[in-house]
Amino acid sequence: MLGLKFSDFALFMLVVLCVALAPILLNPFPASSELAQFNAGYPDLLQRFVIFGVFAVGFNILFGLTGYLSFGHAAFLGIGSYAAIWMMKLLTMNVIPAIILSVIVAGVFSLLVGYISLRRSGIYFSILTLAFAEMSYALAYSVLTPITGGETGLQPKLSDPRILDAELSAGESPAANLFGIGMRDSYIVNFGDWVFTFNAGYYIAGLFLLVAFYLSIRIFRSPFGTMLRAVKSNQNRMSYTGLNTKPYTLAAFVISGMYAGLAGGLLVAMDSQVGPERMFWTASGEVVLMTILGGAGTLIGPVLGAGAIKYMENILSKINETVLKGWFEFLPDAASEWVVLFLNMFTGKSWHLTLGLIFMLVVIFLPGGLVEGGQRIARLFGIGKKRNQTVESDSAASK
């Protein structure tokens, strides 16, 4: 089906279903309950889930398959974003040209960076990509301020040319759209005490995730993918057999750069603004975390990792002291104070600590990431044995 074998097709269908139902699945708690704090089904976060999913899926094609650890992927995301916003400012607020250009520009730039960086491997490759990303960040932050808007970044303005768009009527501000469907348009369904928001922008971004995910499955299962895995397992052996590996690694690098550009373009499409900190090295580190947390070299892992990190960043960080106090009011004063003090070390502004702990636990106990965790649980209940074998043979091949 769709050129996929059954297990891959089932996985793909599962992803399709999750993307389609995410606004419901991620809003399990009634809006008025205390637990509504943990609901993640609002448009901004849903959009971030799928966009960073695209980013991580692309990164995984390079890191998961070839083992080349790029520490500068945020640069491609940022460049894609800048390309997209300029398209919106100059041409039209329709997101299609913006997204297309962001992919192309990021592809060209990654060709340049990849051509130079891939002359080295291992840590030297990582450092080279990091250097390029930092350079791009510095350029965007200050040197190229006339083009990038410096620290302030860029937003669409009333005075932009937008040559393809019709004149805005009075009081209207330029809004990103797809042939008239606004990215912010939502259908809100009230179902008893539950509120579900079905956002147009989210479903458009979700569609891109599905395409990106499908392509990634095809790449994983293709001879090209096998070649990339061979690079990871022993590049020297490949070279001794007389094969030039560079075109393969460069192709993987450019593909993952284009994925990053697509993610950047989608970010702009959903929320039309760009700032240089999008290219900062911590942003590059984040996608590495996402991929490893979810499971490098697996198909679904990066998407899970992206979701987990964005969830913690947006939900955990909002649980501040006042919220905690509200939860533990029922305890005696002294006890509630200690509990709040203790939990406050892991939530609110200290959410990074929780992320760090989870990351350590995953790396130590589940080297295969969340995907391995899922497999272990499945094995515990004695289901999915058949699938386990295929997945294991995958990961064996990728080692």
Partner 1 sequence: MTKKTPELNRRGFIKATAAGALVTGAPTIFTSKAYGYANDPGSASSVTLGFNVPQSGPYADEGADELRAYELAVEHLNGGGDGGMLNTFSSKALSGAGILGKEVKYVTGDTQTKSDAARASARSMIEKDGAVMITGGSSSGVAVAVQALCQEVGIIFMAGLTHSNDTTGKDRKANGFRHFFNSYMSGAALAPVLGNAYGKDRKAYHLTADYNWGYTTEEAVTQATEAMGWETVNTVKTPLKETDFSSYIAPVLQSDADVLVLNHYGGNMVNSLTNAVQFGLRDKMVNGKQFEIVVPLYSRLMAKGAGANVKGIYGSTNWHWSLTDEGSKAFVKSFGEKYGFPPSQAAHTCYVQTLLYADACERAGSFDPCAVVEALEGFEFDGMGNGKTLYRAEDHQCFKDVLVVKGKENPDNEFDLLEVVEVTPVDQVMYEPNHPQMGGAEATLGSCNAG
Judge contact between 184 and 43, C-beta under 8 A. Answer: yes
Judge contact between 59 and 256, C-beta under 8 A. Answer: yes
The total of other beta-carbon atoms located within 10 Å of residue 367's CB is 11
- Helices 385-398 & 223-233 angle (0-180, nearest 10): 60
Give the shortest CB-276-to-partner 1 separation in angstroms.
9
How many residues comprise the chain? 399
Per CB under 8 A, which region of 61-69, 184-192, 238-246, 301-309 contacts partner 1? 184-192
Per CB under 8 A, 388 contacts partner 1: no
Q: x/- string (CB under 8 A) for partner 1, residues 228-267?
A: ----------------------------------------
Per CB under 8 A, 281 contacts partner 1: no
Per CB under 8 A, 189 contacts partner 1: yes
Question: Which of 167, 173, 236, 364 is the binder for partner 1 (CB under 8 A)?
Answer: 173
d(CA 54, CA 128): 24
Q: x/- string (CB under 8 A) for partner 1, residues 133-162?
A: -----x--xx--x----xxxx-x--xx---
Judge contact between 109 and 257, C-beta under 8 A. Answer: yes
Give the shortest CB-356-to-partner 1 separation in angstroms.
14
Per CB under 8 A, 94 contacts partner 1: no
Task: Looking at residues 293 to 352 of the shown chain, list those that interact with partner 1 (rule: CB under 8 A).
Answer: 313-314, 317-318, 320, 348-349, 352
Per CB under 8 A, 271 contacts partner 1: yes
Sign of CA dihedral 151, 117, 220, 367: negative
Q: Which is nearer to partner 1, 54 or 362 (CB)?
A: 54
Q: How many binding residues for partner 1 (CB under 8 A)? A: 53
Give the shortest CB-343-to-partner 1 separation in angstroms.
16
Q: Which is nearer to partner 1, 48 or 229 (CB)?
A: 48
Per CB under 8 A, which region of 42-50, 105-113, 118-126, 207-215 contacts partner 1? 42-50
Contacts with partner 1 by CB under 8 A lie at 6, 10, 17, 39, 42-45, 48, 138, 141-142, 145, 150-153, 155, 158-159, 170-171, 173, 175, 184-192, 197, 271-273, 275, 277-278, 313-314, 317-318, 320, 348-349, 352, 383-387
